[in-house]
Every structure is written in structure tokens, then in C-alpha cells.
Structure 1
């Protein structure tokens, strides 16, 4: 056992150095940040477009006294419900024909409100009238009632703890941890597949198999890719914290999980390592059997789809703590890391995590052993390579 671990560390250092000290690894670190930046830019743009399209401005062509009442009422409503939730009013020439005002290219509004507070006229296209009529009625009602409707002040009574609010916040933390773990696992574990196929095609795997046990080769490659993944996660976490510090502001605080942040972060790292090793060992076994990159791509899709089904099963179990589906998700090896990290966010007990980590480590060892057995049987058996997909020979005539 000691010799095998020593050999596995030699393989891990070899693969780790071959990946880290390359220029492509820098692009690997920066690659996930570019879609995030582009998504943030397009998200802000789409939100602005959505607000502009859903709440277009209206021109206000009324006598000065009537227009002042409408503008004051609109500002009062905007202070209460937010300026983005009520259409804007822009002063328009008065007296004027509303149709001529809308025909102007520099008008800047989609409809024109004319008449008086007691008798409104809304001029515009049918679709714009249907969208804006409710806002016009609300503003006019506030303008009519402003003299008799006093502004009611609400006394604030904040509390330090709310049981239902805390439970909902912890549920949100668990779901966010699950999604983040799943995305990182699917992003990073797939590299194990191509790594094994390349070394098989280059005959390197045969040299390694002759020098060290196959178990050490599999374990070493898994440790090397996991170590590389931790470097990427550390870099992305630093960037995420820096971005949150710049964008969120000083008052921003994430919901505290049930076990506390230090223990939760430690469990998150351990469960990510287990999820990565479970999926990575499965990918290693597949890559060891595949003879070409095409076979790897063919097998990658069903494995990925199966892992997505497992992830959805784990997310379903989050809302049913202690139920049969949640226990099944915690016991099934591939879904266990995702189910247990959600449990850590909602339950203070630590002993289930010790059992779960030991259970997941056992399955990692079993999957590696199964991959090694298949590799010896189909690839190294009698010095010949047996392809994973074999064509049947036509029957003899």
C-alpha cells in the first residue's frame, strides 16, 4: 500500500507539472471569467432594455395646474413603489394636438395624456394604450385624492432572528452551494477523459503500466487533476470575492449556514473533492476503455446527462429534509456530495458528514478498482488492445 501511494504521488507530480507549467493553463484560468463578464454586461443591458420597453414614457399635455398635480402624484407614487415600477411623465406642449405630438420624431414618449385630471384622454397605439392605461389611472387617482389622503408613516420594528426567514436563507445557501459544486465538477472533471486517451495513443500508458501498478497510475492522475482544479477554484474564488467587494457594497452579507461558515467551507471543499473524484474516476475508467477521441465524445454525453439527472434528484431532496428521497440522495454515491452540502447548510449535526465522506471515499476506491480491472482485461490483456466498440464480423456464407 505504501509503495502504491508513493508511485501514485510520482504520477501525480508528473501530470500536475505537465499541466500547470504551460501557457494554456493561464487561458484555462481566465476562460470562465470571460463568460461571466460578458453575461454581466448583457444582463445590465437587457435589464435596461426591458425596463424601457415595459415602462415607456408618456407625454403630458395639460393646463399647467392640472399637469403639476399629475407630476406631483407620479413622484409620490415613485417614492413609495420605486421609479422603475411606474411610467414616466414628460412635459409636452399645451395646447397641442396629441396626434401631432406623437408624429414628431424627437417626441421621446410613446403616448400622450391630455384633457384634465377628472377627464383623461390617452392617445397612442393600441398596444401602448393597453400597457399604460393602468399607470395613468393610478396617477390620476393619486392626483385627485392627494388633498384628502394623508401619507401614512410606518414604524419599523426590525428583529434579529426570524425562524422562517432563517430557514429560507439557509435553503438558498444550500441550493447555491449545490449549483456551484455541480458547475465546477462538470467543468473540471471532463479533462480526465481526454488525458487518458492521449496517453494511450502515445503509448505512454504502457510505459507507466510497466513501471508502476495500474492502480497508482489511475490514482495519481486523479490526484493531479484534482490539485489543478483546486488552484483554479482558489483563483476564481479570489476574483469572485474581489468582485463582490466592489459591486455588493459594505452592507452585503451572505446567509449564514447552520454549521457556520468555517465548517461549511471546509465541508464544501471536501464534498467537491469527493464529487470530483467520483465523477473523475468514472471518466478515467471510460477514457481507459476508449480507443479514440470520438469514442470519448460519444460516451461523454450519456455520462453528463446521467450526472444532470443525479443533480436534479439532489436539488429535489433539499426541500424534503429527513424524507426518503433526501436520505436516498445522501446514500447514492454520485448524488451524496450535493445532498450533504445542502444538509450542512440547514442542519447543525456533523456526524452524518463523517459517515458520508467515508462512504463516498469507499465508492471512489471501488470505481477506481473497477476501472483498473476493465483496463487490464480489455487493454493490457495478452498485450493486445480491445476497442470499446467492436464491429461484428459478417457471418460466413
Structure 2
């Protein structure tokens, strides 16, 4: 058996040991179901926020002071104008009130009325209307001004009915839109960040735990330290793959059923979102970049965890680790939004943000040659990072290692 085969066998032995020790424990089930718990808490918070927003919307309004035939025209034109707004961007509900003897005082009283939030009130002749609005109601004031303009046009035309009727034809896109590719790029970066945040951070504690109970000294005496580091990295990567397979199966099963009950409008909007390289190459590249992101970040975290002698030191490292991950996410997110900028090029070249930025590139650009070069570049840095981590651990913690070059020359001369 040659040296490389022995190194691979020793590495896989360490990987199998860490994989079994992690998966066959009761706490792994909690780790596997962690996204479900996060989803439950997020759903509760989202429902609470939605209820508060709906409660606020139900009490907000704008007021148009008009009477008689003009009031009927105002209501008709309001219905026509609201068709241009989506449900989320529509103005507040319109209330039409008959004018009193003093319309200005009436408008001020409507603004100050308790129990409702009145954003803007319009009164006076339509040629020169007066609008009172609160500080956060300039858009409501603009809407009332445009509404008054359209009512005046309808009155001069003698009808409030539409003057033309357009023929609308729905045309389906055959490819993803530019904005859809941008959305796919940001989703790619976000998904990789969430997965690496949940999974790569698990590597930190493995080396620190075995350093504290002196197991690492036994492993380092039996096999090369590089095999220990690579083996632990591969073992925890197996745990990450098991996690992804479980949740990927769940999401695919739910997604296939959700597609049949999805509203047609939402389905058409989702059809414009997609990667530029195509879905099959994108799926392969996404997995490849997940592997590289996990290996790169895991190698860094493994090296940091190996330097921690106690749980207190390990806890102190959690903040800079999180900051580092968020920084890589922020850099790649900017690159996803500006794929042709120098910042995107820098993010693609920097090894620890390269998997995120290049995964976004797969969504933004159909070129494939960049990805082969990027994957080779990232794999090189995985080897470099693990080698540096092992050397730092050997010299700093185990207090061993090969002698300095000048000492070897001196010993040879003697």
C-alpha cells in the first residue's frame, strides 16, 4: 500500500468515526428537526405581525369631501384608479363625506378624529382643491390630487365611464426574465448562507471537545494530523448531506403538491424566476458550491476550534465566526446584485466568498467555463486551509513539528 492510499484510508476511518458518533445520538434528532422549530417560531411571529398590520390598515382612510352627483363620480373614478395598484400598494380606503358650512374646519376635524387614522382630506373646488395630510401621508395626498384631476376630466367629458377598452393578451415567457435571474441569484446566496450557517458551524466543537478529553493526542499519534482534520471535515460533511437529503425530500414532496393548488397569478410570476444556466446545470452547480462552501468554512472553523482549550474559549469564538459568515454573505449578496462590477470579481476571487458569489453567477450568467476554474480554485484553498490549520495545531497546541530549515542545515553540517 503506497503512502497516498494509506492517507486516504486513515482519513476515511476518522470520517466514519465522526459520522457515526454524531448521527447515532439522541441530540441528532433535535438537530435534524431544528428547521421545523425555526419555521414554527417564524410563523407565529409572522402571523402576529400580519395581524397588527391588518389591524392598522382597517383603521386607516383618506377622505374626499364632495356631495351630490360629484360624490358618485368620485367613487366611480376611485374604483378605476385602484385597478392600477397591487393589493399591497393600494391607498387607504376612501371615504366620501358631504361638505359642511366650513369645509376647512371639517377637514381638520376629520384629521383629528379619534379611533381612526386619517392620512389626507381633500376639500374645495376641483379646479383648485385643498388637501390636508399628516406627516406620513404624502402619497395619500398625491392620490387624492390625481383622483380630483380624473373626476374633473370625467365631469367635463360628461361621463365617468372609460373612454376606451383595451384588448389584453397573455403571453407566456419561454425564458426567465432579467429580474427573475436577479431574484434567483439572491435566493441562491441566501440559501447557501442559511445552510452553511446551520451546518458548517457544527465543525467548531468537534475538535475542541476531543482536545479537552485528550483523544486528539491519541489520534495524532496513530495517523497524520492532516488525515485527522480531513477526516473530521468529511465526517461532518456526511452529516450535512444527510440533513440536506432529509429536508430536500420533504421540500420536494410538499412542493409537488403545492404546485397544483398554487394561484395562477403566483405561478405565472414564479415562472419568470430562474437561473441563466438552466435548472439541471444550476442544481449540479449549487450542490458543488455547497460542498466547497462547507469545506472552506468548515476548514476555517475546524482550525479555530482546534485552538480552543475550553468551552469558554469556544463560546468566545462564536461571535467572530458568525461575523465572518455574515460578511461573506453580504459580499456575495452585493455581487449577486451587480454581477459585472469589480466587487463581484473580488467576491468570486476571494476563496471564502467565492462559492456564494459563483453560485449567484450561475443564476445571472449562462457561461459555464468560469465555474470549472472556480471549483478548482476553491478545492485548492480547501487543501491549503486544512494544511495550515493542521500545522498551526501541531506547532501551537501539540508543541511538535518538523525543525526549522536552518536547524536542519546545521544538523546536516554537524
If the TM-score is normalised by the length of the shorter chain, which range does it land in? 0.7 to 0.9
Q: Find 2:212's aligned residue among 185, 198, 201.
A: 201
Q: Cα distance, 1:118 vs. partner? A: 5.5
TM-score, normalised to structure 1, is: 0.77
Q: Cα distance, 1:269 vs. partner? A: 0.8
Q: Find 1:259's aligned residue among 272, 277, 294.
A: 277
Bigger mean CA offset, 278-287 vs 15-24: 15-24
Bigger mean CA offset, 355-364 vs 270-279: 355-364
Per the alignment, do residues 371 and 67 of structure 1 end up closer, same or farther by CA in structure 2, a change over 3 Å counting?
same
1:162-194 C-alpha deviation (Å, 9 max, x unpaired): 99x733332332222122212321222111111
Unpaired runs of 5+ in structure 1?
384-397
Partner of 2:309, secondary structure, is coil
> 1:176 is matched with which residue?
187
> 2:165 is matched with which residue?
153
Aligned residues: 381
Cα root mean square deviation, aligned? 4.0
Q: Find 2:352's aligned residue among 296, 319, 334.
A: 334
Per the alignment, do residues 329 and 139 of structure 1 end up closer, same or farther by CA in structure 2, a change over 3 Å counting?
closer
TM-score, normalised to structure 2, is: 0.75
Aligned counterparts, 1:340-359, within 5 A: 340-359=358-377
Q: Cα distance, 1:277 vs. partner? A: 0.6
1:251-271 C-alpha deviation (Å, 9 max, x unpaired): 233623222111111111111
> 1:56 is matched with which residue?
60
Partner of 2:352, secondary structure, is coil
Partner of 2:177, secondary structure, is helix
> 1:78 is matched with which residue?
82
Aligned counterparts, 1:1-397, within 5 A: 1-43=4-46, 45-46=48-49, 49-50=52-53, 53=56, 56-58=60-62, 65-82=69-86, 85-90=90-95, 110=118, 132-147=140-155, 148=157, 150-156=162-168, 166-241=177-252, 242=254, 245=258, 248-249=262-263, 251=267, 252-253=270-271, 255-318=273-336, 321=339, 324-381=342-399
Bigger mean CA offset, 271-280 vs 140-149: 140-149
Partner of 1:57, secondary structure, is strand
Contact 1:113/1:121 (8 A) holds in 2: no
Q: In structure 2, how many angstroms separate the alpha carbons of the residues matched to 1:289 and 1:128? A: 53
Q: In structure 2, how many angstroms separate the alpha carbons of the residues matched to 1:184 and 1:129? A: 41
Q: Cα distance, 1:329 vs. partner? A: 3.0
Contact 1:110/1:128 (8 A) holds in 2: no
Contact 1:122/1:133 (8 A) holds in 2: no
Bigger mean CA offset, 285-294 vs 235-244: 235-244
